[in-house]
């Protein structure tokens, strides 16, 4: 695999970062994951806007302009022959020198890394037909979940707990309400209405979420942005989640309770189709 590191395209084994990099010792880094379908980049502008926002929130400047970022994405797709897959992008605050909580001096170069992950069958994921089972877990992450940082230990622990319990993923709860999934935004459907938590610092502002809600509104579907509980989700007609890598994924069981028929519902299926169709049209 050929990867990108600070201006160079290198074989992955030659791409090396300092052990003093703050991404490594402090989780002082932000990231994006963008999907590739038919060799094209989905939601490029959305991911770039959120990257810039995450960087600014942490006092870093976006090191490149739109054309440069897009060129790197396209070049990696070409070099690695990616038809369907993901592009991972990370920007860290760079080499902090002798380990120190204080940021390194202004002008210290950021570390920019991008790599591809080939995922043949990404759009045709068989899990979309069977649905996914989740458990709920207390949300013990920090208070700025709107910033997409690489502090992913707690979500990893939650994912492992889900696996230990024989299911696929976990939904976080706080003060009795669902915040989001380990790596996705969460939704329920009741009497045709789509319910999803409103944006705040408590959740990541999903790029897939933003587009999906726009497409759903354009299709005259009813949407309510408010928190919901696990009990409400278990009593809903349908549930699903969204992310750049899963698009729209039906959830058929929560904490051992089957939803409705226990099979993916029609609203999730329609939204998945709608999302794939519209986002492919807008791909770069
Ligand atoms: N919430 C969290 C915690 C995530 O990690 C992700 C995946 N990036 C999402 C939501 C979904 O965001 P997006 O649709 O931009 O992938």
Q: What distance in Å separates the CA atoms of residue 267 and residue 131, rounded to the nearest whole number?
A: 13
The pLDDT-based confidence of 42 (bands split at 50, 70, 90) is very high
Kindly state if the Cβ of 209 falls inside 6 Å of ligand 1: yes
Catalytic amino acids?
Answer: 148
Distance CA 225, CA 235 (A): 18
Cβ atoms of residues 254 and 239 within 8 Å: yes
Mean pLDDT of the chain: 97
Q: In which band, very low, low, confident or very high, does the pLDDT at 261 lie, cut at 50, 70 and 90?
A: confident
Strand order of the β-sheet with 8-11 is 8-11, 2-5, 111-118, 85-92, 29-37, 40-41
Taking CA atoms, 132 is separated from 24, 137, 225, in Å, by 33, 16, 23
**pLDDT classification of 30: cutoffs 50, 70, 90:** very high
Q: Is the CB–ligand 1 distance for residue 46 below 6 Å?
A: no
In this prediction, the answer to ipTM > 0.85 reads: yes
Strands (E), 19-159: 29-37, 40-41, 85-92, 111-118, 132-138
- The yes/no answer on whether domain 127-281 falls in CATH 3.20.10.10 is yes
Mean pLDDT, residues 176-183: 98
pLDDT in the model for residue 267: 97
Predicted TM-score (pTM) above 0.90: yes
Residue 25 Cβ inside 6 Å of ligand 1? The answer reads no
Ligand 1, residues 142, 196, 243, 272: which to mutate, most atoms within 8 A of Cβ?
243
Opening angle at CA 244, ends 64 and 88, nearest 5: 45
Assess if CATH 3.30.470.10 describes domain 2-118.
Answer: yes
Q: What is the mean pLDDT of residues 40-66?
A: 98
| Helix locations, 84-189, DSSP H | 127-130, 153-164
The finding on whether 242 has its CB within 6 A of some atom of ligand 1 is yes
Angle at 80 between CA 76 and CA 84, to 5 degrees: 90
Instruction: Decide whether any atom of ligand 1 lies within 6 Å of the 196 Cβ.
Output: no
2 within 8 A of 10, measured Cβ to Cβ: yes
Task: Indicate the domain borders of the chain.
Answer: 2-118, 127-281
| Ligand 1 binding pocket mutation candidate from 31, 206, 244 (most atoms within 8 A of CB) | 206
**Which numbered atom of ligand 1 lies nearest the CA of 32?**
8
Spatial contact of 268 and 240, defined as CB atoms under 8 Å apart: yes
């Amino acid at each position: 695999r050929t990867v990108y590191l600070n201006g160079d395209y290198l074989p992955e084994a030659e791409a090396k970062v300092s052990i003093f990099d703050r991404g490594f010792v402090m989780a002082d880094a932000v990231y994006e994951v963008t999907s590739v379908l038919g060799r094209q980049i989905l939601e490029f502008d959305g991911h770039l806007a959120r990257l810039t926002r995450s960087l600014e929130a942490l006092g870093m400047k976006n090191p490149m302009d739109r054309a440069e970022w897009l060129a790197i994405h396209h070049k990696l797709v070409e070099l690695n022959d990616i038809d369907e897959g993901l592009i991972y992008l990370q920007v860290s605050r760079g080499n902090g020198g002798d380990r120190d909580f204080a940021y390194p001096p202004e002008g210290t170069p950021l570390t920019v890394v991008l790599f591809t992950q080939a995922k043949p069958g990404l759009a045709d994921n068989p899990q979309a037909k069977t649905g996914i089972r989740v458990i709920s877990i207390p949300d013990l992450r920090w208070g700025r979940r709107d910033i997409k940082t690489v502090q992913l230990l707690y979500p990893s622990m939650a994912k492992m707990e889900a696996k230990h319990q024989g299911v696929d993923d976990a939904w976080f709860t706080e003060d009795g309400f669902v915040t989001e999934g380990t790596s996705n935004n969460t939704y329920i459907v009741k009497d045709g209405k789509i319910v999803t938590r409103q944006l705040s610092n408590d959740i990541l502002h999903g790029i897939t979420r933003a587009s999906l809600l726009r497409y759903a509104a354009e299709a005259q579907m009813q949407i309510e942005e408010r928190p919901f509980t696990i009990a409400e989700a278990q009593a809903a007609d349908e549930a699903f989640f969204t992310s750049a890598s899963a698009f729209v994924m039906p959830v058929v069981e929560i904490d051992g309770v089957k939803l409705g028929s226990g099979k993916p519902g029609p609203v999730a299926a329609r939204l998945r189709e709608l999302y794939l169709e519209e986002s492919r049209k807008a791909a770069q």
